[in-house]
Amino acid sequence: MKSDRENVKRLLKTARGQLDGLLKMVDEDRYCVDISNQLMATQAILRKVNRQVLRDHLDGCVREAFAAGDSGGKVDEIIDIIDKLS
């Protein structure tokens, strides 16, 4: 992985903490809108870390593959990711 591992780990740990908080909120029968807001905040962090990992993959692995003339597999990989995101 070519991403800034410490930043990725920090963001994932934050998301994990938010998920733990969400479980507690559900157990405590908290207000639905509060739970929904917390869910959206967690999703935002996961989207952010995914963008970073994908950006770093494009900038590192994919760029290197293109420079080496081995772009076919990487293009298919990126198309699959785009399909999953849309």
Rg (CA), the chain: 17
Question: What domains, with CATH codes, occur in the chain?
Answer: 5-85 (1.20.58.1000)
User: How far apart are the C-alpha atoms of 81 and 19, rounded to whole Å?
Assistant: 25
Q: What is the mean pLDDT of residues 7-21?
A: 97
**What confidence tier does 50 reach under pLDDT thresholds 50, 70, 90?**
very high
38 Cβ neighbours under 8 A, 6+ residues apart: 18, 21, 22, 25
Higher pLDDT, 9 or 3: 9
